[in-house]
């Protein structure tokens, strides 16, 4: 096939062609590197492109495949990862100038797993400083949304969203604390899977919140998300928070048979005053499509869901500030304006307020788990708005601006970080301005396969995932 067309294949499609030897890993890697050089000047999605290392890995994969070695569906597939994951011998900045010379001596566990799966790493993707969303100053250039270059491509995993949507990698890894996998998926027309807390190791990942950080895929199809999570999931003795539970074959769950699956439609999110009516209508239509395929829906109440934004930011601010205290105190002047405020705020929140937030969090988690005893999944919009304009002013500009974080976007994704449940965003339509809209599907802890199954059935019955930005 035409080499220039290779980047427009999904990771799964490319994997099958590589396995059949119809496309070589070297050919695919060269095609992606060419496209990165051509397109990324507009997007700033990469901080570091590891061209030489990628080609070396591709040649190694090619030799292995030629001799009959098959490491799985990511073997020879070019991927990229958020610059939050340690990579031996490769710059890892965390999106900050403070770490501009940080070259780790050890790979993060997820990087080790990707390499073992035979994936080809193209480079490190741009992100908000120390994985905090809505920063003003991006030291490595402000990431742009391929659907509209004046808009945000996502939350802290912004580079992962931009690169994947613009066909600058076959699949990518992000990290989600309050919504930074599903946020880029929602804003950029992708599939983003935040797995259960404890499903994927965070060893070697620049952390923000011990109790909410979760690594997962940002991909162009549900199958791509399935093969990516398959490669990185599992218990890791280096991360005490991973759970030693079996990892299922996620691709086996990808059937269009969803007859009788029970969906709980979260009333507090569908009726939210912060939800754009156009998004409400689009998501309602998506739920109807699933109903036509045999899934059953019923209204479900999660009374504390609207408080999730405030809870998330209260807990995250304390944990993030304390985790990085020494580094931030020594380099305070280099921090982004908004992160200076977050660090100072997190440093002075009294212990009793953190304790109260955790108690309310426990109650919210129980509401979600109770609801999931009555239904198989919960469904809701991924966010209340489409991708907003790129931040052009530091700090909070208005009450409405503040609500976007506290009562708005984070309150749609944050409940499930607080609860530790798996949650996925899948494209379900476009706004009148041409921006993607996402449907969020939430499952029981460690039942990612149910979430993937429902998302796959919806995806295969619609064509939203086939649309391309005009870059």
What is the per-residue pLDDT across 257-313, written as a single tens digit (0 to 9) for each?
999 999 999 999 999 999 999 999 999 999 999 999 999 999 999 999 999 999 999
The per-type count for the chain, helices as H runs and strands as E runs, is: 16, 11
Closest Cα partner for 270 from 35, 440, 66? Answer: 440
List, for residues 20-64, the tens digit of each pLDDT value.
Answer: 999 999 999 999 999 999 999 999 999 999 999 999 999 999 999
Average pLDDT for residues 75-99, to the nearest whole number?
Answer: 98
**What residue spans of 81-180 are helical by DSSP H?**
109-116, 158-165
pTM of the predicted model as reported, rounded to 2 decimal places: 0.97
3-state helix, strand, coil in the chain (%, to 5): 45, 15, 40
Q: How do the domains of the chain map onto residue ranges?
A: 3-466
How many whole angstroms separate alpha carbon 60 and alpha carbon 65?
A: 9
Structure confidence at residue 271 (pLDDT): 96
How many whole angstroms separate alpha carbon 358 and alpha carbon 366?
A: 12
Neighbouring-strand partners of residue 49: 123
- Determine if residue 469 is left, alpha or beta; phi over 0 gives left, psi from -120 to 50 gives alpha, anything else beta: beta
Average pLDDT for residues 113-129, to the nearest whole number?
Answer: 98
- Under DSSP, is residue 264 helix (H, G, I), strand (E, B) or coil? strand
- Under DSSP, is residue 70 helix (H, G, I), strand (E, B) or coil? coil
How many whole angstroms separate alpha carbon 365 and alpha carbon 245?
A: 21
Average pLDDT for residues 208-216, to the nearest whole number?
Answer: 96
Structure confidence at residue 403 (pLDDT): 63
Structure confidence at residue 405 (pLDDT): 60
Structure confidence at residue 32 (pLDDT): 98
Place of tokens 């998302």: 455
Supply the mean pLDDT for the chain. Answer: 96
Structure confidence at residue 45 (pLDDT): 98
Average pLDDT for residues 184-202, to the nearest whole number?
Answer: 98
How many whole angstroms separate alpha carbon 217 and alpha carbon 229?
A: 6
- The answer, yes or no, to whether residue 406 has pLDDT greater than 80, is no
Cβ atoms 158, 143 nearer than 8 A: yes
Structure confidence at residue 401 (pLDDT): 66
Residues 214, 215, 219, 223, CA torsion sign = negative
Among the listed ranges 153-157, 251-255, 404-408, which one has the minimum average pLDDT value?
Answer: 404-408
Length of the chain: 471
Structure confidence at residue 407 (pLDDT): 59
Place of tokens 């710059």: 91
List, for residues 306-337, the tens digit of each pLDDT value.
Answer: 999 999 999 999 999 999 999 999 999 999 99
Closest Cα partner for 411 from 369, 370, 381, 377? Answer: 381
- The answer, yes or no, to whether residue 408 has pLDDT greater than 90, is no
Structure confidence at residue 191 (pLDDT): 98
**Within 13 Å of residue 457, how many CA atoms lie on the same side as its CB?**
24
Structure confidence at residue 471 (pLDDT): 85
Q: How far apart are the first and last CA of the chain?
A: 21
- CB neighbour list of residue 131: distance below 8 Å, 6 or more residues apart: 84, 94, 95, 156, 157, 175, 177, 180, 206, 208
Place of tokens 């998506």: 286
Structure confidence at residue 392 (pLDDT): 74
- CB neighbour list of residue 319: distance below 8 Å, 6 or more residues apart: 208, 209, 210, 211, 212, 346
Q: Please report which helix (H) or strand (E) contains residue 372, including its range.
A: helix 351-374
The residues that are catalytic are 82, 156, 180
Q: How far is CA 397 from CA 318, 391, 402, 403, 421, in A?
A: 23, 11, 8, 11, 33
Structure confidence at residue 133 (pLDDT): 78
- CB neighbour list of residue 61: distance below 8 Å, 6 or more residues apart: 25, 71, 75, 76, 118, 120
What are phi and psi for residue 63, nearest 5 degrees? -65, -40
Average pLDDT for residues 355-381, to the nearest whole number?
Answer: 98
pLDDT range class, residue 362, cuts 50, 70, 90: very high
Q: What is the CATH number of domain 3-466?
A: 3.90.1300.10
């Amino acid at each position: 096939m035409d080499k220039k067309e290779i980047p427009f294949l999904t990771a799964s499609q490319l994997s099958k062609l590589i396995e059949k030897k119809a496309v070589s890993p070297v050919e695919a890697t060269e095609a992606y590197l060419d496209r990165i050089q051509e397109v990324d000047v507009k997007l700033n999605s990469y901080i570091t492109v590891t061209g030489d290392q990628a080609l070396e890995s591709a040649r190694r994969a090619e030799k292995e495949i030629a001799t009959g070695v098959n490491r799985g569906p990511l073997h020879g597939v070019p991927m990229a990862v958020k610059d939050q994951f340690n990579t031996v011998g490769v710059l890892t900045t965390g999106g900050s100038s403070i770490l501009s010379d940080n070259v780790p001596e050890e790979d993060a566990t997820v990087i080790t797993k990707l390499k073992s799966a035979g994936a080809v790493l193209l480079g490190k993707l741009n992100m908000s400083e120390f994985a905090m969303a809505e920063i003003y100053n991006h030291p490595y250039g402000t990431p742009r949304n391929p659907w509209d270059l004046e808009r945000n491509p996502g939350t802290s995993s912004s580079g992962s969203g931009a690169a994947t949507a613009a066909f600058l990698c076959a699949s990518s890894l992000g990290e989600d604390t309050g919504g930074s996998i599903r946020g880029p998926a929602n804003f950029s027309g992708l599939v983003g899977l935040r797995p259960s807390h404890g499903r994927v190791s965070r060893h070697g990942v620049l952390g923000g919140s011990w109790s909410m950080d979760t690594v997962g895929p940002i991909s162009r199809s549900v199958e791509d998300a399935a093969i990516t999570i398959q490669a990185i999931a599992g218990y890791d003795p280096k991360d005490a928070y991973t759970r030693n539970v079996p990892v299922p074959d996620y691709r086996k769950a990808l059937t269009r048979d969803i007859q009788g699956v029970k969906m709980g439609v979260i009333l507090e999110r569908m009726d939210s005053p912060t939800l754009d009516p156009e998004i409400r209508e689009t998501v309602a239509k998506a739920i109807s499509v699933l109903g036509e395929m045999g899934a059953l829906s019923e209204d479900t109440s999660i009374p504390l869901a609207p408080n999730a934004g405030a809870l998330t930011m209260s807990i995250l601010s304390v944990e993030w500030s304390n985790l990085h205290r020494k580094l931030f105190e020594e380099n305070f002047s280099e921090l982004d304006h908004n992160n200076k405020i977050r660090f100072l705020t997190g440093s002075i929140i009294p212990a009793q307020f953190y304790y109260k937030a955790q108690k309310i969090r426990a109650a919210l988690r129980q509401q979600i788990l109770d609801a999931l005893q009555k239904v198989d999944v919960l469904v809701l919009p991924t966010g209340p708005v489409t991708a907003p304009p790129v931040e052009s002013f530091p700090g909070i500009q208005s009450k409405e601006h503040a609500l976007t974080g506290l009562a708005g976007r984070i309150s749609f994704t944050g409940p499930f970080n607080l609860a530790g449940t798996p949650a996925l965003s899948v494209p379900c339509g476009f706004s009148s301005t041409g921006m993607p809209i996402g449907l969020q599907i939430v499952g029981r802890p460690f039942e990612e396969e149910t979430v993937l199954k429902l998302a796959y059935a919806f995806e295969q019955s619609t064509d939203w995932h086939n649309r391309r930005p005009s870059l």
